[in-house]
Structures are given as structure tokens and as C-alpha cells.
Amino acid sequence: MSADTASGDDDLKERITNFLRRNFPQIQMHGGSAAIQHLDRENGEVTIMLGGACSGCGISPMTIQAIKSRMVKEIPEIETVHADTGMGGGGHDEGGMSPSFPGETTGDSADGDEGPQAPF
């Protein structure tokens, strides 16, 4: 890696960090953190890891989606943003828990007890 590439990466990392601080102050205000986990300048990809209070926060998926959509618009070198909370369900459709609603069937059990019926 040449010195120009290294200084370019440092400049890009600084702009990404400033973007996160400027556009998402609520992350830090609510006890969370956002850090660049991986940067591939050549392919225009960055991986952001949300930590602290973001892990397990119900709004994290919306924050991740906002980061993904806004960063590619504001930082031209970035074409793809990967972001996660490290909890297995943050922003990705793999693993994690999904919300369930009363009366919803998941197909786990064909004969499962649904519990008491509502009086209406």
C-alpha cells in the first residue's frame, strides 16, 4: 500500500466517522457507538458496527437502514454499506428474532395451544 493510498484511506475514514457523528448523534446520545469495522476503498465498501446500547435496541434496524441509504448519497467513494449490531439480526435477514403478534401462527407446531380466546 502506498503512502497516498494510506492517507486516502485515513481521509475517507475520517469523513465516514464525521458523517456518522453529524447525521446520527442519537447513537452516542443513547449510549451506543458506531465504528468502522472494515473499509475497502477499491470496491467502495464499508462495514459499520453498531455497539453499546445499539445492540438489542429495537430501533437499530431503522438506524442501520438510514445509514446505508444516506451514506452512499453523501460520500461518493462509498457504493455499498454493510452495517450490523453484532446481535445476529441487526439489519440482515439472517438469524435473530422477528416480532410475533397474537394469533399469528409460525408453523412450529401443528397442534399448538393458542391460549385463551379473546372475548370479542
- Looking up residue 50, the CATH number of its domain turns out to be 3.30.300.130
Q: Does any domain span residue 116?
A: no
Residue 84 structural domain = 31-92
Report pLDDT for 86.
77
What's the confidence (pLDDT) of residue 3? 57
Domain membership flag for residue 19? no
Q: How many domains does the chain have?
A: 1
In a domain, 107, yes or no: no
Among all chains, which residue has been given the C-alpha cell 472494515? 38
* CA torsion, ordered 64, 69, 74, 80, to nearest 10 deg: 90
Question: For position 11, what pLDDT does the model report?
Answer: 94
Has residue 46 been placed in a domain?
yes
Residue 91 is given by DSSP the state: S
Q: Count other Cβ atoms within 10 Å, centred on residue 53.
A: 16
Predicted confidence band of residue 56 (pLDDT cuts 50, 70, 90): confident
Does 82 score more than 70 pLDDT? Answer: yes
Q: What is the pLDDT of residue 25?
A: 92
Asked, for residue 22, whether it belongs to a domain, the answer is no
- Does some domain include residue 97? no
Residue 80 lies in a domain: yes
Q: Is residue 4 part of a domain?
A: no
Q: Are 48 and 81 in contact (CB under 8 A)?
A: yes
